[in-house]
Amino acid sequence: MQDGDFDLVHIHEAWHYPGFVAFRAARKHDVPYVLSPRGEFDEFCLGQKALKKKMYMGMVQGQFLNAADALHALTVSEMASLSALGYKTPVFVAPNGIDPCPFEDLSDVSGFLAAYPELSGKLVILFMGRLHSKKGLDVLARSYARIASKYRNTVLLVAGPDEGGTQKKMEAILKTSPASSSTVFTGMLTGRNKLAALGCADLFVLPSYSEGFSIAILEALAAGLPVIISKQSNFPEVSEHNAGFVVEPNDVAVTEAISTLLSDEQLRARMGCNGRDLVREKYTWSAIAASMAGLYRRLMDRRAAKGNRIGER
């Protein structure tokens, strides 16, 4: 691609150098650009390395945001966070999406069960994602420590890459209860193994302290799993469509929600079906791509109209 050979720039993520390079290129060639911060301006994220971010915001990021033709929020909550920054830049909402087809038949789990025989014949509680402190895994570990004492036929399956020693912190919480011997850490799963983990699971839990918009939640819903997520996961549709529980990320709320689902197979089935329907209705890439394409056209037309008005003076 040659310099200037583009009609619109869409920048994903705000704080790193490649985004700044794209911003300067768009400004240099006077083409519209959209910024997708991906949840990076919520209160929790702004509190991480807060002084550096405040300085960068004053020197660079402010003009980056102010000059954008639009800011893309993944959720209504993120739209409110972006609007609260005080810039006049328009903000629109378009969620992430997935292709639900790979999640429609998850029956091929034999190889995965051979690798993890602890899961066979058990009720499997699944966490899938980065093992990061913001994901509320301390809450999940303490909640499962309580659950494992009451529901002996359960396994906690934790799938994802470890960051910052989070796995060791979970293990330290779990080791004082029966939960220690019924927790399985797999590391990062991809392809067939990821699908098999979803196929083995009976419910999905993500008690995050902060989320942009979690693809893991969409994948769990598409797989027909009832989900337990925090309010900070910014996905109220889960509750509105009776596809799971949206709770505060604390031990009591998460433990209660897990217990409710473990004790009611029919409820799990109903919520799982509702979640699948929700994804098919609102979160396929085809629907979201059509919405984004319409936005791109409007932004380019608006920039062209503005240029024509200036030329007429």
In a shared domain, residues 127 and 276:
yes
| Residue 2 within any structural domain of the chain | no
Q: Exposure string (b/e) for 3-39, b if CB count within 10 Å is 16 or more?
A: eeeeebbbbeebbeeebbebbebbeeeebbbbbbbbb
The CATH number of whichever domain residue 247 belongs to comes to: 3.40.50.2000
CA distance 193 to 188: 9
Q: Which residues pair with 91 in a beta bridge?
A: 71
* pTM for this entry: 0.79
Q: 76: which 2 tokens?
A: 């209504």
In a shared domain, residues 243 and 144:
yes
How many C-beta neighbours within 10 Å does residue 142 have? Answer: 20
| Residue 138 within any structural domain of the chain | yes
Is the separation of the CB atoms in 103 and 219 below 8 Å?
Answer: yes
In a shared domain, residues 47 and 187:
no
Parallel, antiparallel, or unpaired: how do β-strands 70-73 and 91-93 relate? parallel
Per residue of the chain (313 residues), what is the pLDDT tens digit?
Answer: 455 578 899 988 877 888 788 888 888 888 888 988 887 777 777 767 778 777 767 677 778 888 889 998 888 888 888 888 888 888 988 888 999 999 999 999 999 999 999 999 999 999 999 999 999 999 999 999 999 989 999 999 999 999 999 999 999 999 988 899 999 999 999 999 999 999 999 999 999 998 878 899 999 999 999 999 999 998 999 999 999 999 999 999 999 999 999 999 999 999 999 999 999 998 998 888 888 898 899 888 887 777 655 445 4
In a shared domain, residues 192 and 271:
yes
| Residue 40 within any structural domain of the chain | yes
Helix, strand or coil, per DSSP, at residue 118: helix
Among 97, 103, 96, smallest CA distance to 198 is for 103
In a shared domain, residues 153 and 244:
yes
Tell me the CB-side half-sphere exposure of residue 188, using CA atoms within 13 A: 7
In a shared domain, residues 158 and 231:
yes
CA distance 301 to 265: 53
What pLDDT is stored for residue 15 in this prediction? 79
Query: What is the chain's length?
Result: 313
| Residue 183 within any structural domain of the chain | yes
What pLDDT is stored for residue 313 in this prediction? 45
In a shared domain, residues 191 and 290:
no
Q: What is the tally of structural domains in the chain? A: 2
Alpha-helical segments (H) within the chain: 17-29, 43-46, 50-56, 62-66, 76-83, 110-115, 137-150, 166-174, 191-200, 215-222, 237-240, 251-262, 265-282, 285-312
Q: Secondary structure of the chain: what % helix, strand, coil (to 5)?
A: 55, 15, 30
Helix, strand or coil, per DSSP, at residue 76: helix
In a shared domain, residues 161 and 222:
yes
| Residue 267 within any structural domain of the chain | yes
What pLDDT is stored for residue 283 in this prediction? 92
What pLDDT is stored for residue 67 in this prediction? 84
| Residue 236 within any structural domain of the chain | yes
Q: 45: which 2 tokens?
A: 């994220």
| Residue 3 within any structural domain of the chain | no
In a shared domain, residues 231 and 112:
yes
In a shared domain, residues 161 and 258:
yes
Range of the domain at 120: 101-282
| Residue 4 within any structural domain of the chain | no
Phi, psi dihedrals of residue 209, rounded to the nearest 5°: -85, -20
What pLDDT is stored for residue 131 in this prediction? 97
What pLDDT is stored for residue 168 in this prediction? 96
Among 83, 106, 84, smallest CA distance to 93 is for 83
What pLDDT is stored for residue 310 in this prediction? 44
Q: 82: which 2 tokens?
A: 């972006």
DSSP state of 98: B
In a shared domain, residues 86 and 169:
no
In a shared domain, residues 152 and 267:
yes
